[in-house]
Amino acid sequence: MQKSQKSILDHIPEFLEYLDIEKGLSHNSQITYNRFINKFENWLKENNFTTLLPHELTSEHIWQYRVYLSKIYNKNTHQPLKRTSINYYLITLRNLLNYFADRDIISLPAEKIKLFPEKKDKNIKFLQLEQIEKLLAAPDISNIIGLRDKAILETLFSTGLRVAELVSLNRNQIKIDNIDDELEVNVIGKGDKLRPVYFSPRALKAIQDYLNTRKDDEPALFINYKGPITKDHRLTTRSIENIVRKYVIKAGISIPASPHTLRHSFATDLLMQGVDLRMVQEFLGHKNIATTQIYTHITSKKLKDIHKKFHSLKE
């Protein structure tokens, strides 16, 4: 182990290259890490720690950074960052320290950065099927925007795609030979893992109706119709989130649903229909079965309600 004479700030570009080349993180994951580490860079600069060397970083610095994060407010909700969000910033910093360890650079051990404990039972938000039906019927399909938005909503529920996976879809991936058959499409998810997802005939019909109105040469499946002509018109993840929220309100659904809520709804519906948890793990592209197990308490409650209704002795 050796002391580096380069400041922590000067090491950050190499850290990002390390995530790309050695850790093989996907492009979207690299963007996320870049955003999280930028917050730490800003903190270093604002506190005149631009020359701080890796071995000079102390637990007191980490504490000051935690306090800094706790005072940041979300621009949309005007509320302080949630503990789960703060954890993401701290995990990124942990990975920076792990990078130093891999390079035999003396620094604070990563385990010195303590995370906020996660709740054991996550409150998974999902929509009931009648709410899904209302949501899918909400777009006005008399215009191209409505046709596009209906195709987006149908695709999210049919496939269980992550929002980043959805925006990455291209038109040439959707080859509709028979509208009555499901379509299997391979997508690259987290960690560059390839997995198949399935478009139902209903989702394909919505996509076909939308594509029939397209007169452009854009490769993206879902595009934005606003902005300058020279700009890439592929919808962003934020745009998809706003589209879903728009129709949740229009459909009169009380749950503040997001694209991830539709992913939860997709998984919950499969489990309610008796699909094995391991199969749901494959559909969702989860690396670890433990991630998929967050849904089991939902189905367990459903089984309990069924047992109570149909099996208990009546007085």
Active site residues: 162, 190, 260, 263, 286, 295
Query: For the chain, how many residues are written?
Result: 315
Between CA 62 and CA 187 the distance in angstroms is 38
Between CA 143 and CA 6 the distance in angstroms is 57
Instruction: Name the residue among 208, 207, 213 with its Cα closest to residue 225.
Output: 213
Between CA 288 and CA 83 the distance in angstroms is 23
Neighbour tally for 152: CB within 10 Å: 28
Beta partners for residue 188, in sequence order: 194
Between CA 101 and CA 15 the distance in angstroms is 12
CB 2 within 8 A of CB 104: yes
Between CA 251 and CA 137 the distance in angstroms is 8
